Amino acid sequence: MKGYMLKGFAAIVISGLMSSTALAHDPIFSIGPHVLFKNGVEVAAEMESDKAGNEKEQVLALNLKYGITGDWAVGVDLPYVFKDKGYESSNGNGDFAIFTKYRFWRKDSLGLQESAAVLLKVLTDTASGNKTPSLDKGTTDTILGLTYGYEGRKWYRWASARYRFNGTNDLGIDRGDKLLLDLVGGIRPNPTGYLEPDTVWLLELNTEFGQRAELGGNDLSNTGGTEVFVSPGIFWTKRFFAIKAGIQIPVYHDLNGTQNKSDYRARLTFEWHL
């Protein structure tokens, strides 16, 4: 029973990892309202590294996105995960995810675009099983998101909210839902021309509120809580190619019971528009 419980907790910790749904000039750790041009294809290779106490997780992911219209995109994330916990390591396919984003409002003016979008993402239960440490959260989760973005030639700002409905896994653990709130500012120090390399600096404030997990109607003490991160990042783009990088630095923890606090999360993305 103890082994099952530990596996269950591991699955809860893994579920904290949020693969990217960012498109183009969206923030690195939160979401923005960017979509793709109609019939456009975006291919992104993403690397993520997370550390919390004695747990370390690294993810290599391939993200594919398609613009159905100029305001509506769909995509898929295909992750491969490397996980270390204490002296144990495992690796294998992570849960693939599908998502759709619809930009329902847009206000354009000279050199400025303001817009808002809704997001729906489903994280499937398809990770490699029977691994220690576990890569398998044992359930399908759903994320709903709402985001606003202001994109000017010089300044950027975004605000977003995501609610993650975490399912009940194979061990009967009702994994607590999660609310993520984000505020982001950005600056383009030198507004460059269309064919020139372009750099934008970002600063994100990412807040995560997790509910306690439950088993048989009883709260599990070492689950849930709040973490706040300050996350500097950068976009570098040239025509149809982008490099995006950022690091989440934890500045506040209020985790229930005994849990590993996040030490850092880092993300690097190479992105092409085809």
> Applying CB under 8 A, which of residues 88, 89, 129, 191 lies at the interface with other proteins?
191
Other beta carbons within 10 Å of 65: 25
* 3-state SS assignment for residue 244: strand
* Residue of 235, 230, 253 whose CA lies nearest to 34: 235
Which region among 78-86, 145-153, 172-180, 210-218 touches other proteins (by CB under 8 A)?
Answer: 145-153
63 beta partners: 44, 77
> Applying CB under 8 A, which of residues 91, 93, 113, 124 lies at the interface with other proteins?
113
Establish if 112 lies at the interface with other proteins (CB under 8 A): yes
Establish if 240 lies at the interface with other proteins (CB under 8 A): yes
Least distance (Å) from other proteins to the CB of residue 84? 35
Answer left, alpha or beta for residue 177, where phi above 0 means left and psi between -120 and 50 means alpha. beta
> Applying CB under 8 A, which of residues 147, 237, 256, 259 lies at the interface with other proteins?
237
Answer left, alpha or beta for residue 52, where phi above 0 means left and psi between -120 and 50 means alpha. beta
The strand order across the sheet containing 218-219 reads: 173-174, 214-215, 218-219
Supply the Cα-derived Rg of the chain in whole angstroms: 19
Q: Cα–Cα distance between 236 and 110 in angstroms, integer?
A: 23
Binding mask 21-60 for other proteins (x = CB under 8 A): ---xx--------xxxxxxx--------------------
Least distance (Å) from other proteins to the CB of residue 200? 8
> Applying CB under 8 A, which of residues 5, 53, 76, 106 lies at the interface with other proteins?
106
Establish if 70 lies at the interface with other proteins (CB under 8 A): yes
Peptide bond into 79 cis (omega under 30): no
Least distance (Å) from other proteins to the CB of residue 66? 13
Cβ(158)–Cβ(27) below 8 Å? yes
Structure tokens at 94: 């992570």
Least distance (Å) from other proteins to the CB of residue 159? 17
Summarize as ranges the residues that interact with other proteins (CB under 8 A). 24-25, 34-40, 67, 69-71, 103, 106, 108-113, 151-153, 188, 191-196, 198, 200, 235, 237-240, 242, 273
